[in-house]
């Protein structure tokens, strides 16, 4: 353990020396310098590289969505949007194509048979559909737990397996997105339970609820919080997932844990992705070491969640789309940080005088 600590300290010193001796004033590249340092420490090298970056979008339905109490859009939109992903027409498709990021779309628990009798299918634009369906959506957590604890564990394991395959094929940078009508409600409940923040301070408009609908949403989720006594589940991630989670959130939590185990650079997207990270952090606290936070979502509560995680976001664009879109926009910045570390001349190599 002492040797590992010394090696890490030495590596950090070597990385800082390399960063500070590029042909620029110290700190002139701002956050890019912090990213270069972090990626070098993650990959345990002074010459880090970003290989085969991926975005994995997990999709699942929530039983609460059928009631109309927390969302203005019908549950069917989840399946319709997944098909839009597969046809290459969503924002995440556009950004992944633009930045040469591999996109994978996972059916974690959509209440629709998307591609019958298929487990994996290459589709337009090179994206890959993975059928990892647990069930046809979760139960309505106003009436019963969203899923069994066994299903929560199985979902986590499926998320791990998906990331393991990507890592085995050479991918070392990964971001996660989600699609699921009603999943901002599940994320709000998870945030409230883990951070101790009142439900009303966690709940946002999600997919465009108006003021009256927002108050109904808050009241509904406060009932759910009380029904399942979520205040007692702060340190019980599996039970918390079983009470109010979604299959896509559970798989994402497992994906985070596996990505950290593979020493991948993890790019954290918005509100729901950060809620899944709260679960992953409880399973393995070391996961945060590998995380770069893409953006501060426009979704109410996300900034508070980032503060809880002591996280500094790269972008502040007011986005709240989900799908992994913030992560897809941040990955080129991470690549730029690695590239300047690799390719930018040093004062010595360029024959430029350094400050005395």
Q: Are 286 and 256 in contact (CB under 8 A)?
A: no
Rounded to 10 deg, the angle between the 247-261 and 271-283 helix axes is: 60
**Phi, psi of 154, rounded to the nearest 5 degrees:** -65, -40
Would strands 265-268 and 291-295 be described as parallel, antiparallel, or unpaired? Answer: parallel
Q: Are 289 and 233 in contact (CB under 8 A)?
A: no
Helix (H) or strand (E) holding 330: helix 325-343
Q: Are 151 and 119 in contact (CB under 8 A)?
A: no
Task: Please spell the DSSP secondary structure of 278-325, one letter per residue.
Answer: HHHHHH-GGGGGGEEEEE--SSTTHHHHHHHTT--EEE-------TTH
Return the DSSP state at 112: S
Max CA separation in the chain (angstroms): 71
How many residues does the structure list for the chain?
356
Task: Please spell the DSSP secondary structure of 116-181, one letter per residue.
Answer: TT-SEEE-GGG-EEEE---SSS---TTTS-SS-HHHHHHHHHHHHHHHHHHHHTT--EEEEEEE-T
Concerning whether 343 is annotated as a catalytic residue, the answer is: no
Catalytic residue among 33, 178, 299, 323: 323
The alpha carbons of the chain give a radius of gyration, in whole angstroms, of: 21
Task: Please spell the DSSP secondary structure of 214-245, one letter per residue.
Answer: HHHHHHHHHHHHHHTTGGG-TT-HHHHHHHH-
Active site positions, annotated: 323
């Amino acid at each position: 353990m002492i040797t590992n600590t010394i090696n890490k300290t030495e590596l950090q010193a070597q990385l800082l020396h390399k960063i500070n001796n590029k042909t620029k004033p110290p700190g002139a590249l701002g956050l890019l310098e912090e990213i270069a340092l972090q990626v070098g420490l993650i990959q345990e090298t002074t010459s880090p590289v970003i290989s085969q970056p991926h975005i994995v979008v997990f999709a699942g339905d929530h039983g609460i969505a059928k009631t109309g109490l927390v969302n203005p859009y019908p549950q069917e939109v989840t399946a319709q949007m997944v098909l839009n992903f597969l046809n290459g027409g969503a924002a995440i498709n556009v950004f992944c194509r633009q930045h040469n990021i591999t996109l994978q779309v996972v059916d974690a628990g959509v209440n629709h048979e998307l591609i019958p009798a298929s487990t994996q299918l290459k589709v337009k634009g090179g994206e890959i559909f993975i059928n990892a369906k647990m069930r046809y959506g979760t139960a309505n957590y106003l009436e019963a737990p969203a899923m069994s604890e066994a299903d929560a564990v199985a979902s986590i394991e499926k998320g791990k397996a998906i990331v393991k395959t990507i890592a085995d094929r050479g991918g070392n940078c990964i971001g996660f997105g989600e699609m699921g009508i009603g999943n901002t409600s599940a994320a709000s409940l998870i945030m409230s339970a883990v951070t101790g923040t009142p439900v009303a301070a966690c709940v946002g408009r999600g997919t465009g609820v108006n003021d009256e609908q927002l108050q109904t949403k808050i009241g509904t989720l406060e009932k759910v919080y009380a029904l399942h006594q979520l205040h007692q589940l702060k340190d019980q991630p599996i039970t918390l997932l079983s009470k109010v989670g979604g299959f896509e959130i559970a798989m994402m939590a497992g994906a985070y844990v596996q990505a950290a185990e593979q020493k991948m650079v993890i790019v954290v997207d918005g509100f729901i992705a950060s809620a899944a990270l709260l679960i992953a952090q409880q399973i393995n606290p070391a996961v945060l070491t590998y995380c770069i936070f893409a953006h501060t979502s426009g979704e109410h509560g996300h900034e508070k969640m980032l503060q809880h995680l002591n996280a500094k976001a790269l972008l502040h664009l007011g986005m709240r789309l989900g799908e992994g879109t913030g992560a897809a926009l941040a990955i080129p910045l991470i690549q730029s940080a690695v590239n300047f570390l690799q390719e930018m001349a040093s004062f010595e190599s360029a024959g430029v005088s350094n400050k005395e």
